[in-house]
Amino acid sequence: MAGAVESELVSEDTSETEAVAAAAVGVAAILFALSLAALFELVTITDTLAGVPMVALLGALLLLLGLGVVGFGVGSRLGYVATNPRPSAGLVAAVAFSGIWFVVGGLVASQTFGLGTIGWGGVAFVTGGLAFAVTALPREDIGSTLPAGLLAVFAGAVFVTGLIGPGWVWDLGWEQSASFNAEFTIPVITAFCSLLVAWGAAKSYGGFGARGRHVGAYLLVYLNALSIIAVLFLLVAFTVFKGLPGLFNGLSFGLGTGPETTLFGFTFAWPLSWPFVMNGVALLNDVNGVLPAIAGTIWLVIGAVLFAVPLGVGAAVFITEYAEHGRFTQVVEIATNGLWSTPSIVFGLFGLAFLVPRLGNGKSLLAGMLTLGFMLLPLVVITSREAMLAVPDEYRDASAALGVTKWQTIRSIVLPAALPGIVTGIILGVGRIAGETAPILLTMSGSVAPPGSQTVDVIGGFQFISSPPFVENPELLQATSALPYQLYSLITAGVGQSSNIANIEQFRWATALILLVVVLGFYAVGIATRYYFRRKLQHE
């Protein structure tokens, strides 16, 4: 083969140059983490670290990294470092770098030097074209280090010289006076440049070529996954930190301290008093709570699941097992997919216009349950259908060959095998409806900050009456509150200020935290159920 490269089968011990490249990757990763922390205000860029201003420190690190990577690439080209580069860094890298340098050149020309459209356009095209040429034309070791390293050097120089300092603002001059300030710009630029340099350094560490590309891609994928997890973790942690103080206000333990509960005629007092989840909002409360909203949310989800799951699974059984595959099943499939993407406010309006007038002509818990049940229905149908289609036909054949009827096969073979998939669908659906605000607002919301006495008691609400249908439950037909709705009104609409809520800010965050806990609790129940059924199906 012409041009085939013979590389060592066994590479020697880690050389010093490899160690330098690895160190560069490490520093770049630290810098990336630091910039993310700065972006989420865990580190403030106006601070100083060991007497050095934060911005200068970031800049110096970038400068150092950029020079290191460029040095590595040039060293490799001149033969000081043993690597295994390809003839070119490739078209994808070239297009990406020319795009980046096009933007950088254009921004510098237009914003810093104030050139007009023709001026900045020219500069941008020149820098972009140069970056393309530098990436694509020379050997891979130059092409993948020089554009990345130079960008880091440039950004570092800007930070170190203070051209962009903590007080820097880029006023976009739009009507709402939108602007990019330093708190946002500096971390983003640092994170971006450190990613690029880390990629270049990782490629150098792998000695370019196929192995270098592998290491570079590996690093990008890992950093990406880690930063997503970090963002998720940060979101939850943020809510927890903000919510905890309000959540545990007035918490006390001890026999008989808690409120009394009557369950099946047996009355007992809770051994702890947790006002935030055991109280409503009332004038005489020491600490106000959200008990009515918690109860409302839980009953809402239970009601919606009880309504939607049997209907949805039944519909899925019909379309997968009984109906002829053809136009009809296609239409049902399109319709369910469409329903699932329908905005929740539309469901809310339907509930308000159709259900509310028919259910006692007032907003009620039942109307909310049904509306959310309608929202849940399409997802249950879609996922149950997928799960049933995934059950191998061999099971059905084997069952039929034993002389077992179709319905019994569905009940004892198909449904058990499909259960984990069905439960997954329900988990996803519950996650959506438990946090839904708009339909609740329209169909079941009562007072924003209801007192504890208005906590909905569905089980205790059933009572016998003398006329058909002989059982009624006024609790189901009363308006009540739910956590997302309460949170929405407390924050956006600003209600609740006048109520006897001592620290409204704490109260809001604690409500958000409780909502998060309730939704995650439903998740946990669902995942445990799925795990149980999956265990039953698999050989363990």
Assess 358 for contact with another protein (CB under 8 A): no
Residue 402 CB, shortest distance to another protein, in Å, is: 4
Q: Which is nearer to another protein, 43 or 404 (CB)?
A: 404
Is 47 or 397 the residue whose CB approaches another protein more closely? 397
CB closer to another protein out of 330 and 500: 330
CA angle in degrees (0–180, nearest 5) for 302-307-313: 115
> Minimum distance from CB of 331 to another protein (Å)?
20
Cβ atoms of 337 and 318 within 8 Å: the answer is: no
Count how many residues are written for the chain. Answer: 540
Instruction: Give the nearest distance from C-beta 404 to another protein in angstroms.
Output: 4
Q: What is the footprint of another protein within residues 417-476 (CB under 8 A)?
A: 417
| Least distance (Å) between residue 395 CB and another protein | 6
Question: Least Å distance between CB 323 and another protein?
Answer: 13
Task: Return all residues near 419 (Cβ < 8 A) that are at least 6 apart.
Answer: 387, 530, 533
DSSP for 332-393? HHHHHHHHHHS-HHHHHHHIIIIIHHHTTTS--HHHHHHHHHHHHHHHHHHHHHHHHHTS-H
The residue (of 237 and 400) whose beta carbon lies closer to another protein is 400
Closer to another protein at the Cβ: 413 or 491?
413
Q: How far is residue 488 from each of residues 235, 409, 433, measured CA to CA in Å? A: 18, 48, 15
Distance (Å, rounded) from C-alpha 78 to C-alpha 94? 22
Helix axes 182-205, 16-39, angle to 10 degrees: 160
Characterise 90 by phi-psi region: left (phi > 0), alpha (psi -120 to 50), beta (else).
left
252: β partners = 273
Q: Which is nearer to another protein, 391 or 430 (CB)?
A: 391
Residue 367 CA, distance from chain mean position: 30
Q: How far is the CB of 309 from another protein (least distance, A)?
A: 22
Query: In the chain, what is the greatest distance between 2 CA atoms, to the nearest angstrom?
Result: 98
DSSP 286: S
CB of 533 to another protein, least distance (A): 11
Contacts 24+ apart (CB under 8 A), 486-489: 486/290, 486/293, 486/448, 486/449, 486/511, 487/437, 487/511, 487/512, 487/515, 488/437, 488/441, 489/445, 489/448
| Shortest separation between residue 536's beta carbon and another protein, angstroms | 8
Kindly tell me which of 183 and 386 has the beta carbon lying closer to another protein: 386
Residues 278-307 that bind another protein (CB under 8 A): none
**Of 416 and 461, which CB lies nearer to another protein in the complex structure?**
416
Residues 381-420, mask of contacts with another protein (x by CB under 8 A):
-----------x-xxxxxxxxxxxx--x---xx--xx---
Total of chain residues touching another protein, rule CB under 8 A: 22
Please check whether residue 463 is in contact with residue 350, taking contact to mean a CB–CB distance below 8 angstroms: no
The least distance separating another protein from the CB of residue 537, rounded to whole angstroms, comes to 4
In the complex, minimum distance from the CB of residue 187 to another protein, in angstroms, rounded to a whole number: 51
Which residue, 204 or 409, has its beta carbon nearer to another protein?
409
What distance lies between CA 491 and its chain's CA centroid? 22
Alpha-carbon gap, residue 351 to 349, rounded angstroms: 5
Q: Which is nearer to another protein, 6 or 393 (CB)?
A: 393
Interacting residues toward another protein by CB under 8 A = 392, 394-405, 408, 412-413, 416-417, 537-540
